[in-house]
Amino acid sequence: MKDKFYNYILKLQDIITSQIESVDGSAKFSEDIWKRKEGGGGRTRVIENGAVIEKGGVNISAVHGNLPESMQNYFNVQDCDFFACGISLVLHPKSPMVPTVHANFRYFEMYNQEGKVVDQWFGGGQDLTPYYLFNEDAEHFHQVSKNACDPFGKNLYPQYKTNCDNYFWNSHRGEARGVGGLFFDYLKPTADRSLEEIYKFVTHVGDSFLDAYMPIVEKRKHLEYTQEQRDWQEIRRGRYVEFNLVHDKGTLFGLKTNGRIESILMSLPPHVQWQYNVKPEKGSEEEHLVNVLKSPKDWV
């Protein structure tokens, strides 16, 4: 399974980066192949200063070795080795009218001292972070996500949508990072769901990403905006940074397993503002966004 999923994310990275270059029309991804001294490595692709994408990354990694003590305590295990592979992407568009997007699909195995697999699971999801809220964009993103889930069970979309709202929550701010999407973790084989079926579900969601996001980019990338709207985008990007550095488990795992720091922090936007005590004007589009983020809604 680990080889099968790794081959999948290799191809998915190629497909996604090709489509992003096409929609940007200007910038190209640079590629960085890296090795982890404890075992494994990855292929980082970053795009910067494009006509549409100000900064973005689509990264894959496959790392293995002894699970560090801090992570053994986290998983409540002892003397384990691990293998983890996944694809992670974040795209920060230049225009405040185009939302930031994040997606991640990953597979994890743990082994005992005899090398036997003692645990294995999939995780992942995709979520949208707008700076100006167009309801039809959020509805589209969620509808595509629901359509990807439904063939595997009508209960999955509402469950993983709620997980996403709960996970991408800046508790110190009392608001969501964005308008959500899907989030799932620790999907393990059970009596009624095999690992192969979980693989099919996760890859089906992965294949849906471009359908969920690219039509939104095409629709919004040519809209005009003011410097004040750009300032608001950079202020809201600050909340994005706060979540990633304070709450995100993926960032924590990467830092605690001696991951590659440039790839881990690739998700951070290039231009951010932290103004003191910012409050949007009453009745404004900015206030409308914040009100929605304080109380996540059903989009489908």
Catalytic positions, please?
102
Q: How far is CA 146 from CA 98, 161, 272, 298, in A?
A: 22, 9, 32, 12
Beta strands in 67-220 (DSSP E): 81-93, 100-111, 117-129, 169-170, 175-176, 180-187
Q: Give the closest residue to 269 by CA, choosing from 293, 292, 218, 235.
A: 235
Q: Give the closest residue to 120 by CA, choosing from 82, 79, 164.
A: 82
Task: Give the integer Cα–Cα distance in Å for 84 and 70.
Answer: 16
> How are strands ordered across the β-sheet holding 30-35?
30-35, 40-48, 53-66, 81-93, 100-111, 117-129, 180-187
Which token pair is 228?
């004040």
H or E stretch including 56? strand 53-66
The answer to whether 62 and 44 have CB atoms below 8 angstroms apart is no
The answer to whether 80 and 101 have CB atoms below 8 angstroms apart is no
Which token pair is 177?
């990072």
